[in-house]
């Protein structure tokens, strides 16, 4: 996790990474090789620091685009793993691991992650007290906030345009809710239909569906501070 957070800031060579995480070159290289094998990072030839003997080529490591989002998306799947109710030890271990990684990646920020479609793995952080949800509307760009609202690309045609939103995320008293704003395609939480204009609480691991079919959108809810 420390290595991934370092590489999130930009490409680094092994020795610099080792210095930042305060461990040996050999140990750092072992972890980098493992991350390479999982497809989370890549390495490319670059130039090291200038020395009295000149500048030498080095391998520089960087994140694969979407790597952090993929980790966050897969974290949410822990909530849907079917575990024998009697196996409390495994359940507790999963809760501990998931909590630590979610805290490292997202800090205390509630988020939703896109599942499927052209923006698969995209993370939207929820902030403010009301967040509009919908497809981009090039004709009315001033009617929504691209830095705050949950906005999908034009390919998600079954989702209403955000200028007249498909729905809204609303925060009240520390709890997040979703509301369908009278959309044509409808909204579901864990396959249960949300009645228009009626708020439904969303929790960690919930699956929100906006319309059905390949042109709809699915969002996985991530609430790092909940279990």
In the predicted model, is pLDDT for residue 158 greater than 90?
yes
In the predicted model, is pLDDT for residue 227 greater than 50?
no
In the predicted model, is pLDDT for residue 201 greater than 90?
yes
Q: What is the pLDDT of residue 61?
A: 92
Q: What is the pLDDT of residue 169?
A: 97
In the predicted model, is pLDDT for residue 224 greater than 80?
no
Highest mean pLDDT among 22-26, 34-38, 43-47, 93-97: 22-26
| Phi-psi map region of 10: left, alpha, beta (phi>0 left; psi -120 to 50 alpha) | left
Q: What is the pLDDT of residue 221?
A: 87
DSSP code string of the chain = -HHHHHHTTS-EEHHHHHHHHT--HHHHHHHHHHHHHHTSEEEEEEE---BTTB--EEEEEEEPTTHHHHHHHHHHGGGG----TT-HHHHHHHHHHHHHHHHHHHTT--EEEEESSTTTT-EEE--SSEEEEEE--TT-GGGS-TTTSEEE-TT-TTSPBTTS-SEEEEEETTEEEEEE-S-SS-EEETTEEPPTT-EEE--TT-EEEESSSTTSEEEEEE-TT--
Q: Domains in the chain and their CATH numbers?
A: 2-47+55-64 (1.10.10.10), 72-222 (2.60.200.20)
**pTM score, two decimals?**
0.56
Residue pointed to by tokens 């020795």: 15
More confident residue, 49 or 3: 3
Digit-coded pLDDT (tens) for 162-173? 999 999 999 999
| pLDDT-based confidence at residue 14 (cuts at 50, 70, 90) | very high
The predicted model gives 7-18 an average pLDDT of 89
Residue pointed to by tokens 């939703």: 112
In the predicted model, is pLDDT for residue 186 greater than 80?
yes
For residues 115 and 123, give the distance between their C-alpha atoms in angstroms, rounded to a whole number: 10
In this structure, the strands spanning 123-125 and 111-115 are: antiparallel
In the predicted model, is pLDDT for residue 126 greater than 60?
yes
| pLDDT-based confidence at residue 226 (cuts at 50, 70, 90) | very low
On average, the pLDDT of the chain sits at 81
In the predicted model, is pLDDT for residue 27 greater than 80?
yes
The predicted model gives 44-52 an average pLDDT of 64
The predicted model gives 20-39 an average pLDDT of 89
């Amino acid at each position: 996790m420390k290595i991934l957070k370092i590489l999130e800031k930009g490409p680094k060579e092994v020795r610099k990474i080792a210095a930042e995480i305060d461990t040996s070159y050999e140990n750092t290289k072992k972890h980098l090789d493992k991350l390479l094998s999982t497809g989370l990072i890549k390495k490319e030839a670059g130039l090291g620091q200038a020395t009295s003997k000149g500048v030498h080529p080095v391998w520089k490591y960087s994140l694969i685009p979407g790597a952090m989002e993929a980790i966050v998306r897969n974290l949410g799947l822990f909530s849907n793993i079917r575990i024998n109710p009697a196996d409390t030890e495994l359940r507790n271990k999963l809760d501990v691991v998931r909590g630590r990684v979610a805290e490292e990646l997202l800090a205390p920020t509630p988020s939703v992650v896109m599942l499927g479609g052209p923006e698969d793995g995209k993370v939207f952080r929820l902030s403010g007290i009301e967040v509009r949800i919908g497809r981009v509307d090039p004709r009315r760009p001033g009617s929504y906030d691209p830095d705050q609202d949950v906005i999908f690309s034009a390919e998600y045609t079954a989702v209403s345009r955000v200028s007249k939103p498909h729905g809204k995320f609303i925060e009240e008293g520390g709890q997040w809710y979703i509301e369908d704003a009278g959309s044509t395609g409808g909204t579901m939480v864990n396959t249960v239909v949300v009645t228009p204009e009626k708020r439904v609480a969303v929790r960690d691991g919930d699956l929100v569906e906006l319309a059905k079919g390949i042109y709809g959108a699915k969002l996985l809810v991530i609430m790092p501070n909940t279990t």
